[in-house]
Amino acid sequence: MRIGVPLETRPGETRVAATPETVKKLIGQGHQFIIQSGAGNGASVPDSAYEAVGATIGSAADAFAAEMVLKVRSPQAAELKQIKSGTVLIGMLDPFDNEAIAAMASQGLTAFALEAAPRTTRAQSMDVLSSQANIAGYKAVMIAANEYQRFMPMLMTAAGTVKAARILILGAGVAGLQAIATAKRLGAVIEASDVRPAAKEQIESLGAKFVDVPYETDEEREIAKGVGGYARPMPESWMKRQAALVAERAMQADIVIATALIPGRKPPVLLHSETVAKMKPGSVVIDLAAGRGENGSGNCPLTRADQIVDANGVKIVGHTNLPSMVAADASALYARNVLDFMKLIINKEAQLAIPAAADDDIVAACLMCRDGQAVRTN
């Protein structure tokens, strides 16, 4: 099968959908690869590295003309026009974007959005959301350390002792837990909160203190358990109690990292404008949900997508694509996710063999459209 890997063209996107490691494995199985010239440059992978494992370097048209196209982000209109009917497209295609799904269907494609994979043990190795969230959590702490004008660890010097930075992490999913682990390595004092009761043990096992918002009703306890590995929107009464507790902790924090994001929904507001107004000058907020809320906001209403906002001396950082800031490792992990997914739809003879929806829950969940017919409905 001829597989194409085009250069990602969305602003700020530096990742690539296949690395020499995964290309070599697939060529060994009998596939041919056409890599657009420069596709891996942003991830520190030169064309020569692909050529060394047997890939062919070509133009964008060459890559899009393949039988299967591997992408990081969903194709833009100009890219979509270059993909011929009958092509199989694999990438992070935003399964909640009905317009994009309709556009891919009208082009006659069979498209798989890897973000839609279920959170099951069998699907772990192809969980792109987790692999990229891990990187986002790490990079969030590194950006915070760069923007914060003091030390992270406690230091004892000849000129006196410097206190350790206090970090508050809101949301303890994959990104939040990685942020805790990274901040701990840098010597910070960490507190973290999450809706889900199961998160308490995970937070404490990494050396952070759990900020506990008590449940007052059975309904709150039931909703807090979440569904499919994700939190569910909590009742207004609980959100008010959480806001009060977060405000109290945020006023003492030097850095706040907000990571709460539920696929297909607008992010919850966890750090209110009134709370930011009471934070210490020089404090830093990193909002991993930037760009997903109203006017480019995220978990904080003051956040603006891809901007650093100064709110009364508090820096609010709204980068929307942190994994692209660690493009080499982000691409390596993503490419392995893609490779493992491809095993489900390609047989031992290196031919496309998409199983029926009833036979494979992962393939069924990721399938957006097939042979020009939209399959997913939101």
For 192-209, write each residue's pLDDT tens digit.
Answer: 999 888 899 999 999 999
Enclosing domain of residue 156 = 134-320
Same domain, 223 and 350: no
Same domain, 316 and 333: no
Of 10, 119, 150, 265, the active-site residue reads: 119
Same domain, 25 and 111: yes
Please state, in angstroms and rounded to a whole number, the distance separating the CA atoms of residues 327 and 80.
24
DSSP alpha helix (H) spans, 29-173 = 47-51, 60-64, 77-80, 98-106, 128-147
Same domain, 297 and 170: yes
Residues 6+ apart with CB under 8 A from 227: none
Would the CA dihedral through 328, 329, 335, 338 be positive or negative? negative
Same domain, 217 and 355: no
Please state, in angstroms and rounded to a whole number, the distance separating the CA atoms of residues 123 and 294.
32
Q: Is 364 left (phi over 0), alpha (psi -120 to 50) or beta?
A: alpha
Please state, in angstroms and rounded to a whole number, the distance separating the CA atoms of residues 196 and 170.
12
Same domain, 20 and 94: yes
Is residue 377 included in any domain, yes or no? no
**Per-residue burial over 271-290, b = 16 or more CB atoms within 10 Å of its CB, e = otherwise:** bbeebbeebeeebbbbbbbb
Strand 255-258 relative to strand 284-287, pairing: parallel
Please state, in angstroms and rounded to a whole number, the distance separating the CA atoms of residues 263 and 267.
9
Per the structure, the count of domains in the chain is 2
Is residue 129 included in any domain, yes or no? no
Same domain, 315 and 183: yes
Q: Specify the pLDDT at position 237.
A: 86
Q: Specify the pLDDT at position 330.
A: 98
Inter-helix orientation angle 327-345/20-28, to 10°: 20
Output the domain CATH number for residue 77. Answer: 3.40.50.720
- Which residue, 186, 181, 188, 224, is CA-closest to 205? 181
Same domain, 62 and 36: yes
Is residue 124 included in any domain, yes or no? no
Q: Specify the pLDDT at position 229.
A: 64
Of 124, 205, 237, 351, the active-site residue reads: 124
Is residue 108 included in any domain, yes or no? yes
Same domain, 169 and 188: yes
Same domain, 147 and 269: yes
Is residue 121 included in any domain, yes or no? no
Report, as ranges of residue numbers, the positions in the chain whose pLDDT lies below 50. Answer: none
Q: Specify the pLDDT at position 219.
A: 84
Of 36, 74, 130, 132, the active-site residue reads: 130
Residue 124 is among the residues annotated as catalytic for this protein: yes
pTM for the model: 0.94
Residue 232 is among the residues annotated as catalytic for this protein: no
Same domain, 300 and 340: no
Of 94, 127, 194, 287, the active-site residue reads: 127
Same domain, 112 and 255: no
Residue 218 is among the residues annotated as catalytic for this protein: no
Is residue 126 included in any domain, yes or no? no
Is residue 213 included in any domain, yes or no? yes
Q: Specify the pLDDT at position 228.
A: 66
Is residue 127 included in any domain, yes or no? no
Question: Rounded to a whole number, what is the largest CA-CA distance in the chain?
Answer: 70
